[in-house]
Amino acid sequence: MNFTEETFEIRTHRRNEMIDITSHVADALSQSKVASGTVTVFCPHTTAAITINENADPDVPHDILLTLEQLVPQHRLGYRHNEGNSDAHVKSSLVGASETILIREGRLVLGTWQGIFFCEFDGPRSRKVHVQIMGT
C-alpha cells in the first residue's frame, strides 16, 4: 500500500470562482506512481469547496455560480455572522469540502466531460488544497 500527501496553493481572483485543478491532481498522481486506488481532494477552508463537474464548456461553471448566488444571496435579513460572508459559509457546506476519485491504470477515473474544481466563495484569496493518494 502506497500513501502520499501533497498540499498545493491556489490564488483566486474573484469573490465567486470555480478553478479547474484537474491537472494539479493528475500531476500529484503521476508523481505518486500509484496504479490502483483512490485520490482524495480536500479543501481546508470554510468559505470554499471542491466539486466535480463539466470542464469542457466554461458556461457550465458560470451557470453553477450564478445559481448558487441566486439561491444564497450575499446579504440577507437574519444573517448573524458579523464577517459578512455567511453566504460563502452556506455555499461551502452545500458544495462540500472534498471529492474522492478512483485511480485505474495510474489515471484518474473521470468521465469525458468531468473536471475537478476548486470553488471560491469569498475571494480573492490565497488558498490551500490537500491531495491524498492511497493505493498500490
Binding stretches for Zn ion (CB under 5 A):
83, 85
Sign of dihedral through CA atoms 33, 4, 121, 15? negative
Residue 44 or 58 with smaller CB distance to Zn ion: 44
Residue 6 or 69 with smaller CB distance to Zn ion: 69
Residue 62 or 81 with smaller CB distance to Zn ion: 81
Tell me which residue has its CB nearest to Zn ion: 83
Distance CA(66)–CA(71), nearest Å, equals 9
CB of 85 to Zn ion, least distance (A): 4
CB of 3 to Zn ion, least distance (A): 33
Distance CA(81)–CA(53), nearest Å, equals 30
Find out whether 16 and 120 touch, Cβ atoms under 8 Å. yes
CB of 125 to Zn ion, least distance (A): 12
Residue 19 or 90 with smaller CB distance to Zn ion: 90
CB of 34 to Zn ion, least distance (A): 36
